[in-house]
Amino acid sequence: MAVTLAPNFYVKPQLVATRDGYGEGLVQAGEKNKNVVVLCADLTESTRSTAFKQRFPNRFVEVGVAEQNMATVAAGMALMGKIPFISSFAVFSPGRNWEQIRTTICYNDVPVKIAGAHAGISVGPDGATHQALEDVAILRALPNMTILVPCDAIETRKATVAASKTKGPVYLRFARDKTPVMTTEDTPFEVGKADVFHDGSDVTIVAAGPVLYQALLAAKFLEKQSINAQVLNCHTIKPIDKRALIKAARNTGAFVTVEEHQVTGGLGSAVMEAIAETWPVPVRRIGIQDKFGESGTSEQLLEKHGLTAKNIAKAAQSVLDVRKLCSVLHAPPVESGGEAGRLLSEISPDREFKLWGGETIRTVPELKEALERMDLRTFHHHVAGSRNDFSSWIERAFGDKALADTFRKHPTRDAMIAAIALRLKGGKR
């Protein structure tokens, strides 16, 4: 059941920067616990640490442009019983001081809280050098680390207070720009627990951070297409809520993940790891596709990298196509040597499929492997318009009209890969 959200936020949301929630949370945490201290690396105003500095000047330390030193000093303070928050831009902390975080903070398992501000591409005009897109990935592999990516200013405040009470190291990730406020004071927040923000039974959209708003808009758009999307706010990326994810996988059977981060090593990877060993379902990851950022407005960059409601909805429709085809776990096995055997066997040289880049394909499994590593430009060259060479080749060379027709009906790369996998199930390699 969906939790309580802000009224009318779909129509006219209040816009507040998540970093403002961090500043408010620091003051609240400091009022509740006198051991809370804050360190900053010459970015006091930008990270919104100013409010804590003004309220508790004797518990604030400005270390200057020295992020590595800041992490080490904080580790020492934590060993003496303090709860330090270290604040900087995410490209500098954890970007510049990862080794100190690893060795002095995580290895010692001390309660240092790392605040990575201005994360993601929505930093905009600052460009690639200041757009942290790898921070979750480099910290997720560290033992003892908790990773929180709150969705709005209210949740960031709650996450900051919660971090002060959480054992061991914590990473808090937040953005610069003002973003929609989706939650209320009554919206639950618990470290390690994902919350349902929108009910649905057809597909699950898992998001973290301010882009969760786009996921919710996508769910509304999908309703018009008679698709009921469940939206999960997965603010805790480590430890991830496996129970909620497995429950969603059983209920919907298809996932889309959304993050303002590289798709490698971030939320999408964490989700796939969580469900792969228990209840595997097709997953489409929306995020930065192995690229660096660039200068532009937040809106331009989110649009370019597909982090919009329209693109999320399109991904949901695509993964549903895959789910329809990908009945691999439940499909009856194909007799070896029959249909699958033909697809596994090599064909005569005059019927080889030659890709645009010069690669030669002799079997259907080879085509599947080529599809999995093929860039979109090459893929669209072969399936554009009525040309659909893959379909014609499979029908001509292997006599498999059913598979060829499936390709024509579902001309997307993911759907084709799933269709081949289904066809080959039970065949001998």
CB atoms closer than 10 angstroms to residue 338: 11
Residues whose CB falls within 8 Å of the CB of residue 428, separated by 6 or more in sequence, listed in order: 336, 337, 340, 341, 344
Under a CB-based contact definition with an 8 Å cutoff, are residues 355 and 378 in contact?
yes
C-alpha span between 429 and 418 (Å, rounded): 17
The Cβ-side half-sphere exposure at 72, using a 13 Å CA radius, reads 8
The residue whose two tokens read 């600052």 is 126
C-alpha span between 257 and 253 (Å, rounded): 13
Under a CB-based contact definition with an 8 Å cutoff, are residues 394 and 400 in contact?
yes
**Which CB contacts under 8 angstroms, 24+ apart, belong to 350-356?**
351/393, 351/396, 351/397, 353/389, 353/390, 353/393, 353/397, 355/382, 356/381, 356/382
C-alpha span between 364 and 130 (Å, rounded): 44
The catalytic residues are 67
Smallest Cα–Cα separation from 30: which of 49, 15, 2, 14? 49
Residues whose CB falls within 8 Å of the CB of residue 11, separated by 6 or more in sequence, listed in order: none
Give the distance from CA 183 to its chain's centroid.
20
